Structure 1
Amino acid sequence: MNKDILIEIGMEEIPSRFIRDAANLLEKKISEWLSDSRIHFSGTKVFATPRRLAVVVNEVSTKQPDLRSEVKGPSKKIALNEQEEWSKAALGFARSQGVEPSDLFFKELKGIEYVHAVKNEIGIETKSILSDGISKIITSMVYPKNMRWGKHDLKYVRPIRWLVALYDEVIIPLEITGVHSGRTSRGHRFLGKEVDIQHPSTYVSQLKESFVFVDIEERKQLIHNQINTLAKDKNWVVSIKDDLLEEVLFLVEYPTALYGSFQSEFLEIPQEVLITSMREHQRYFPVFDHESNLLPHFITVRNGDKKSLDVVARGNEKVLKARLADARFFYQEDQNLPIDKALAKLEKIVYHEELGTVGDKVRRIRTISDQIAKFLSVDEKVQRQVTRASMICKFDLVTQMVYEFPELQGVMGEDYALKAGEDPVVSSAISQHYQPRFSGDSSPESIVGAIVSIADKLDSIVGCFSIGIVPTGSQDPYALRRSAAGIVQIVLDQKLNVNLTDLFDICFAVYEESNLLKTEMDDLREKCFDFFSLRVKNVLTDMNIRYDVIDAVMATNINDISSVVRRGKAVMQFVEQSDVKITLESFNRVNNLASKAENKKIEEAYFEENVEHDLYQKWNQLHSSFTKKLETSLELEALEMLKQLQIPITSFFDKVMVMSENENLRRNRLALLANISEDITKIADFQKIVI
């Protein structure tokens, strides 16, 4: 009869941002260990609160299945001696497999006979391996930050205070850092008590009786419903951000939503400041009316019951009042700082010891922005706006408000710039140049913001790459992946007529003039192209374009980002046609032989067969229109034109020996194929398409 397993690691409060990944890792480790141990189970469910990580494994088999396997040994030639008796090699093989020599037999593999043995392994009982296996799983858990306590050598996210380990009703004996396993869990720190878990199946219900909602999704839904109920009762609109909900979810074990208020006079401060102060510092949910105007109220979630909620609300109001008073003071003081003086302060902030100050970075951004604007042939007014926006895009970094709330960089710059009388387009570009700030965020709306944003992000990438800072694994301290993805998104959203080579050349020139290039130009260019190609690949993947189509379009040219995306979409549609196989085969035959061409000069005088004339004339007829289709971003139509070459290509190969002994005929035929191949590969390398 199958049994259930419960493992609960009870700790002091774990940082909320670590809990989700840690719980999933515990579940993964236990599942993989059981599978590797040949122990069957029907499923797992993970649980977590600020003070515990737990997993329940259902219907675990009580023993491993017996294992019967054939093991291959040496070949017959080696296994038998001259007397046709077992050799030392065969006898050694038998001993190693725990079988008698008489049990050995031969089996043919690929025309060669090998000696084999049947190995029977009796499955062991599950309970005999639980203690050791689970101990290793718990102690091998990996967290972003660890600590040590007492005299213990184990480094862990927080000190372990209790362990529950059950195999149905039976305790699995464990001992970690002096803590022995049992069936006793702990309820809510203030409302609950110790709980003796009777069986893994009663784990959730027993803890709920002790004021702990251990089920993650149940607790999340409870918080969500309570907030929405409050909002409905008060006729409010509450924006429940996923990241804030996730954080609150792992700060409480028994959630109770409540509301509070603050003085309406604080609404004179920019809405973004109030929202940031509530969300980031207090974990409050801001409240809006139905016109999206911020109201002087908030909703928070208590880790406890409904007793004395008015007292809890007053305490939260008092803390928020102090926060908002500080914000108002910073806001008023910052407006007394002229932009020019703020820019001067940037000269004292080090961006990177090898790349200079933030002031140096701003000057590079300005030069790069101006060059990009000229390349895009913007009008004089936009050029002036780009210059000014790039000059002052970082001035708010020295303000007190941004020092207190770094996430408001750009937002405060726009507000302060408007109040200082700057052009509204320039002011908004200060905020926009940080966009997209995260995956899924929008890109800058204005061309001014887009240009400055690209310049800023490009400067960061090229600067870091030039001094050897290249993201590896999960390490990306300068958020270079996000910067590259942002540039790709901006180019696509704004439909900018600029390619990667143009952007790199503009930036490389600035770095070369500043004597900041510490890497060979060709090497740097290659690294930048490889880095951006991964970002472009991600964009295509997000569009549900097949992996082979992605490889095909990226194999030819990734320089023009917009073209890569358009070609990806076009080829995706093209390869889904029912008769595409014959067309692709004809394209690939052309490409295979085209690589042997010495030049692309076609001389009609050397056409010997009618099919050569037919193919040439058809290609010549289509070539000009095909090129125009590509120039006007009509890749799918261009592909359909190339498809018309399929029949003449097939006829050509059926009746012509391309590699003729006649040098003139051979050279001319290869030249024809080379010209056709050049058009085909402007779309994709179709040899990478899997049919």
Structure 2
Amino acid sequence: MRDLLLEIGLEELPAQYVLRSEKQLAERVDAFLKEARVDFGSIEVYSTPRRLAVIVRDVAETQQDLTETLRGPAKKIAQDAEGNWSKAAQGFARGRGLTVEDLYFAEEKGVEYVFAERHEKGKETVSLLNGLEDVIRSLTFPKNMKWGTSSLRYMRPIRWLIALFGQDIIDFTIEGVNTNNVTRGHRFLSKGDVVISSPAEYVQTLESAFVMANYEMRKAEIERQIQELATKQGWTIPLDADLLEEVTNLVEWPTALFGEFDEAYLDLPEEVLITTMKEHQRYFPVYLDGTLKNYFVTVRNGNAEHLENVARGNEKVIRARLADAVFFYEEDKKTKIDDQLGRLDRIVFHEKLGTTGAKARRVTKIAKELAALFEADLEKVSRAGAIHKFDLVSQMVYEFTELQGIMGEKYALQQGEDKEVAAAIREHYMPRFAGDASPETATGAVLALADKLDSIAAFFGIGMIPSGSQDPFALRRQAQGVVQILGDWKIDLSIDTLLSKVVELQLEAGLYEADKEQVKAQLDDFFKLRLKYRLQEQQVRYDVIDAVLTTSLTVVRLDARADAIQEFVSTDAKALIEQLSRVVNISKKGEAGDVDPSLFENDHEIALHDAIEQTAPATADAVEMGDYKKALDLLQQLESPIMMYFEHTMVMSDDEAVRQNRLHEMNRLATTIKRVADFNALVL
């Protein structure tokens, strides 16, 4: 057994794509070796801004031998009446490198077929590994580029390749770059090329060239250095997870340092300072006793030499950034909100959907329709709807787009707007991402719901529907936000009803290019997937999800239904589920109709009928109230009557009138059952 090393050397990768590319490379190598029938131990992953690499431990020297059973044509096709092999049988054998002498017959599902055993001795692993070229070429990225005369589209230009099996170089070429055992160290600290003599020495050799190839090691080292700084200075330095990941993927040899800026800049809103540091400069803000201080921590891609010069350079950059922010902030404060609203009609929301001003007016209409559901103040909703996009034309948000909504709230409060109205300007973007909170105010919740529904329905109306990984307008995230808000605020209104209102308003605005019913059907399917995702996040069983996602429900009722069924299937409910499913299945053989008790032929028909008379209305009431646990308790009362009914009653009687009467009974009971869940979907 030998270790395998594969390294792709590249120009600097975008930080946000490094880890997902590292993972993809490992998955592709894993699949390649398994498909090639090559045994191996474990796969280790490595990445920096300039490389993606895997080391596969304990790779077998030869692939596994292959023995497979091949099925050919049926016997009646494979031989004629005299027992001679047909052309079909001969072709089957020849196509697999066999002869007709290798064929035999065996029965499968009552039919005799031709079979053959094919044996293939495993090849030497080294002869298969040039297939790693295809692995490298198969990697996919969100964005690609071409370079020079290359025909390959890749995230960044490939500059070197290492492919080692033990100490042997696996020979192949990609776009003029040949594989060898030479890598490159840190762009500035390392001198010349770096030779990797074997996979086992990869990590240590790179460290001697000032490269920490392991992401987790770099991350831990950055955390250690920042904590050391914090302890020494008496600071608190929160380590934002996303920022830490990004910084880790920007450096190969990290060294933490700090700088400072003029204390006067602390007069800016804290969000402006933090956004400037985190989003624009990749700095970690510094706190002392819970108060933001005029210091920052950054991570250099290099060693500790001349850190003072590096700190001064970073201070100069942030000083310019913050000076701009002060100018924008002061200029924005001079402008009245109502004077800015007209400028929204000069901002194109989408070429087919009009301006941001037009969108804001649509959202206001929708919000006013929904206000009563949230017990929101209609006057506040109207005002918030009118101004909720105004900060998009402010100088601060134009420069710092991450602050949209946040600055709107601050400016609104400065100009005397109601606190809830001001909060709604910020909250209508919520939840901004998975795990984010829903709006806290009723006005904010209404506005957030209206804004998201308007965007989703409008883009569907012009055919801009998410597909695969393509979702340029983040409609999936917005739809998940709609579902979350309805669930968190316990709004007992179906998404289907909400969408109908929104679609009608947008039709009035003349937005749609597609047929209304087609758009509505697409939206229903889209939101059904979002509801399914919500239940998956709540760890609901897949079969329970299928059982509850059968009708248009409110999010609140869906949650209650899923909780009740999940708990129900965890008990000894097999017998009841089988009986309920049997009723539903047999009901499909007839249609609904009135039940005539005079046609009953035994006491068990009477007993079931009486049980249904008592249970069906109460079950319907429980479902209407969203009390699915009570509905299930009521259905459990039917278990014995249903079982005895089927033991003593033949539903499909020869007597037409009796048969139809019994099918009417089954349909009546099936209607009650399906109100609760689709029990046929449950896996026992």
- TM-score w.r.t. structure 1 length? 0.94
Seen in structure 2, the aligned counterparts of structure 1 residues 80 and 356 have a Cα distance that, compared at 3 Å, is closer
Please give the secondary structure, in 2, of the residue aligned with 1:213.
coil
Contact kept in structure 2, 1:372 and 1:506, CA below 8 Å: no
2:562 is the counterpart of 1:568? yes
Aligned to 1:649: 642
* Deviation of the 1:591 alpha carbon: 2.0
* Deviation of the 1:664 alpha carbon: 5.7
Query: Of residues 396, 400, 404 in structure 1, which corresponds to 2:395?
Result: 400
Report matched runs for 1:231-246 at 5 Å.
Answer: 231-246=230-245
Query: Of residues 138, 144, 147 in structure 2, which corresponds to 1:146?
Result: 144
Seen in structure 2, the aligned counterparts of structure 1 residues 92 and 512 have a Cα distance that, compared at 3 Å, is closer
Seen in structure 2, the aligned counterparts of structure 1 residues 327 and 42 have a Cα distance that, compared at 3 Å, is same
Seen in structure 2, the aligned counterparts of structure 1 residues 114 and 678 have a Cα distance that, compared at 3 Å, is closer
Q: Distance in 2 between matches of 1:267 and 1:405?
A: 17
Unaligned 5+ residue runs, structure 1? none
Aligned to 1:540: 535
Query: Of residues 575, 580, 583 in structure 2, which corresponds to 1:590?
Result: 583
**Letter aligned with residue 678 of structure 2:** D
Contact kept in structure 1, 2:532 and 2:545, CA below 8 Å: yes
* Deviation of the 1:197 alpha carbon: 1.0
**Letter aligned with residue 572 of structure 1:** Q
- After the TM superposition, which of the residue ranges 306-315 and 607-616 deviates more from structure 2? 607-616
Q: Distance in 2 between matches of 1:499 and 1:96?
A: 58
Q: Distance in 2 between matches of 1:51 and 1:198?
A: 20
**Letter aligned with residue 393 of structure 2:** V
Q: Distance in 2 between matches of 1:85 and 1:664?
A: 59
- After the TM superposition, which of the residue ranges 99-108 and 259-268 deviates more from structure 2? 99-108
Contact kept in structure 1, 2:374 and 2:491, CA below 8 Å: no
* Deviation of the 1:322 alpha carbon: 1.0
Aligned to 2:26: 27
Q: Distance in 2 between matches of 1:390 and 1:152?
A: 52
* Deviation of the 1:632 alpha carbon: 3.8
Q: Distance in 2 between matches of 1:622 and 1:530?
A: 33
Contact kept in structure 2, 1:11 and 1:162, CA below 8 Å: yes
Q: Distance in 1 between matches of 2:111 and 2:626?
A: 59
- After the TM superposition, which of the residue ranges 563-572 and 151-160 deviates more from structure 2? 151-160
Contact kept in structure 2, 1:287 and 1:297, CA below 8 Å: yes
Seen in structure 2, the aligned counterparts of structure 1 residues 75 and 448 have a Cα distance that, compared at 3 Å, is closer
Please give the secondary structure, in 1, of the residue aligned with 2:549.
helix
Query: Of residues 479, 486, 493 in structure 1, which corresponds to 2:474?
Result: 479
Q: Distance in 2 between matches of 1:501 and 1:82?
A: 64
* Deviation of the 1:585 alpha carbon: 1.7
* Deviation of the 1:354 alpha carbon: 2.1
Report matched runs for 1:634-645 at 5 Å.
Answer: 634-645=627-638
2:622 is the counterpart of 1:633? no
Query: Of residues 457, 477, 498 in structure 1, which corresponds to 2:452?
Result: 457
**Letter aligned with residue 641 of structure 2:** P
* Deviation of the 1:590 alpha carbon: 2.4
Contact kept in structure 2, 1:166 and 1:172, CA below 8 Å: yes
Aligned to 1:500: 495
Contact kept in structure 2, 1:67 and 1:121, CA below 8 Å: yes
Aligned to 2:356: 358
Residues 117-155 of structure 1: per-residue CA shift (max 9 Å, x gap): 443323221222323x12222233322333333333333
Residues 329-364 of structure 1: per-residue CA shift (max 9 Å, x gap): 111111112111211000111112222111110110
Please give the secondary structure, in 2, of the residue aligned with 1:218.
helix
Q: Distance in 2 between matches of 1:559 and 1:110?
A: 44
Aligned to 1:378: 375
Aligned to 2:70: 71
Aligned to 2:386: 391
Residues 70-100 of structure 1: per-residue CA shift (max 9 Å, x gap): 4344454555566655555555544444445
* Deviation of the 1:486 alpha carbon: 0.5
* Deviation of the 1:476 alpha carbon: 1.2
Residues 378-420 of structure 1: per-residue CA shift (max 9 Å, x gap): 36xx111111111111000001111111111110110010011
Query: Of residues 550, 558, 570 in structure 1, which corresponds to 2:552?
Result: 558
* Deviation of the 1:532 alpha carbon: 0.7
2:304 is the counterpart of 1:309? no
Query: Of residues 341, 344, 352 in structure 1, which corresponds to 2:342?
Result: 344
Residues 265-307 of structure 1: per-residue CA shift (max 9 Å, x gap): 211111111111111100011122343x322221111111122
2:354 is the counterpart of 1:330? no
Q: Distance in 1 between matches of 2:576 and 2:168?
A: 67
Q: Distance in 2 between matches of 1:671 and 1:70?
A: 52
Query: Of residues 462, 465, 470 in structure 2, which corresponds to 1:470?
Result: 465
Please give the secondary structure, in 2, of the residue aligned with 1:486.
helix
Please give the secondary structure, in 2, of the residue aligned with 1:682.
helix
Seen in structure 2, the aligned counterparts of structure 1 residues 609 and 515 have a Cα distance that, compared at 3 Å, is same
Query: Of residues 169, 174, 183 in structure 2, which corresponds to 1:185?
Result: 183
Please give the secondary structure, in 2, of the residue aligned with 1:519.
coil
Q: Distance in 1 between matches of 2:61 and 2:396?
A: 62
Aligned to 1:679: 672
Please give the secondary structure, in 1, of the residue aligned with 2:675.
coil
Aligned to 2:607: 614
Residues 22-44 of structure 1: per-residue CA shift (max 9 Å, x gap): 22222222222222222221121
Contact kept in structure 1, 2:7 and 2:161, CA below 8 Å: yes
Contact kept in structure 1, 2:492 and 2:555, CA below 8 Å: no
Q: Distance in 2 between matches of 1:359 and 1:119?
A: 70
Please give the secondary structure, in 1, of the residue aligned with 2:299.
strand
Residues 11-70 of structure 1: per-residue CA shift (max 9 Å, x gap): 221221222222222222222222222222112111111111111111111122333334
Seen in structure 2, the aligned counterparts of structure 1 residues 151 and 425 have a Cα distance that, compared at 3 Å, is same
Residues 639-669 of structure 1: per-residue CA shift (max 9 Å, x gap): 1122111111222222334445666655554
Contact kept in structure 2, 1:74 and 1:114, CA below 8 Å: yes
Identity of paired residues, percent? 45
Alignment RMSD = 2.3
Residues 166-218 of structure 1: per-residue CA shift (max 9 Å, x gap): 11112222333333322221111122233211110110011111111001111
Report matched runs for 1:510-521 at 5 Å.
Answer: 510-521=505-516
2:32 is the counterpart of 1:39? no
2:134 is the counterpart of 1:136? yes
Aligned to 1:209: 208
* Deviation of the 1:541 alpha carbon: 0.6
Seen in structure 2, the aligned counterparts of structure 1 residues 650 and 77 have a Cα distance that, compared at 3 Å, is closer
Contact kept in structure 2, 1:97 and 1:117, CA below 8 Å: no
Q: Distance in 2 between matches of 1:12 and 1:136?
A: 20
- After the TM superposition, which of the residue ranges 520-529 and 425-434 deviates more from structure 2? 520-529
2:285 is the counterpart of 1:286? yes
Contact kept in structure 1, 2:592 and 2:668, CA below 8 Å: no
2:525 is the counterpart of 1:530? yes
Aligned to 1:159: 157
**Letter aligned with residue 13 of structure 2:** I
Contact kept in structure 2, 1:553 and 1:685, CA below 8 Å: yes
Unaligned 5+ residue runs, structure 2? none
Query: Of residues 427, 439, 448 in structure 1, which corresponds to 2:434?
Result: 439
- After the TM superposition, which of the residue ranges 485-494 and 233-242 deviates more from structure 2? 233-242
- After the TM superposition, which of the residue ranges 626-635 and 217-226 deviates more from structure 2? 626-635
Seen in structure 2, the aligned counterparts of structure 1 residues 111 and 493 have a Cα distance that, compared at 3 Å, is closer
Q: Distance in 1 between matches of 2:139 and 2:523?
A: 36
- After the TM superposition, which of the residue ranges 303-312 and 477-486 deviates more from structure 2? 303-312
Contact kept in structure 2, 1:197 and 1:206, CA below 8 Å: yes
**Letter aligned with residue 581 of structure 1:** K
Please give the secondary structure, in 1, of the residue aligned with 2:128.
helix
Contact kept in structure 2, 1:558 and 1:564, CA below 8 Å: no
Alignment length (residue pairs): 683
Aligned to 1:124: 123
* Deviation of the 1:101 alpha carbon: 4.7
* Deviation of the 1:628 alpha carbon: 4.1
